[in-house]
Amino acid sequence: ISFTTGDATGGAGGAISLSVGDGDTGAGAAVTVIAGKTTDDSTAGGALTLRAGIGDGSSGAVGGAVSIAGGVGAHTGGAVSVTSGVGTADDSGSMTIATANSGSSGESGNMTVRTGSATSGVSGGIAVSTGDSSDTSGGFSVLTGDASGGSAGDISFTTGDATGGAGGAISL
């Protein structure tokens, strides 16, 4: 099945919208997109690609953004989970989260990993760890890139200030 909207020479190309209707009983209806399965021993299952559009103007064009967000909840918002695939006999899939290299001039994109603020209660924590193993567990590295024409980047650990208690500690 192929869904394609037409090109435009004097305006925007056609949009595609996929949505399900509202309901008033039970959970909201789901949207599921699954790539194809194969039983061929030498090939992979179908790929699933989600990519925003190219910004191809001659000056200052910007590629389209991709936004993935959990649903708004009257009490608790929806969770977002991104997990690599299980290998039922061997390895699980790898995961790479990275910004792209810069073009011929400019800088590569920044990356921010943070939890939201809390107006009452504790803001969310961040845990980064490798998995347990019956053999050797995975290592953990924090490093900055090499610099061929300037200074290499610093690594800094900073805890938050506290107005009604102790400031955060750092334990290495």
DSSP type of residue 75? S
Return all residues near 76 (Cβ < 8 A) that are at least 6 apart: none
Residue that has been written with the tokens 């690609």 in this structure? 49
Banded model confidence at residue 4, pLDDT cuts 50, 70, 90: confident
pLDDT of residue 152: 92
Instruction: Quick: pLDDT tens for 99-137.
Output: 999 988 889 999 999 999 998 888 999 999 999 999 999
Share of the chain above pLDDT 70, in %: 100
pLDDT in tens, 74-93: 889 889 999 999 998 899 99
Rounded average pLDDT over 28-45: 91
What is the pLDDT at residue 105? 86
How far apart (Å, rounded) are the C-alpha atoms in residues 17 and 125? Answer: 35
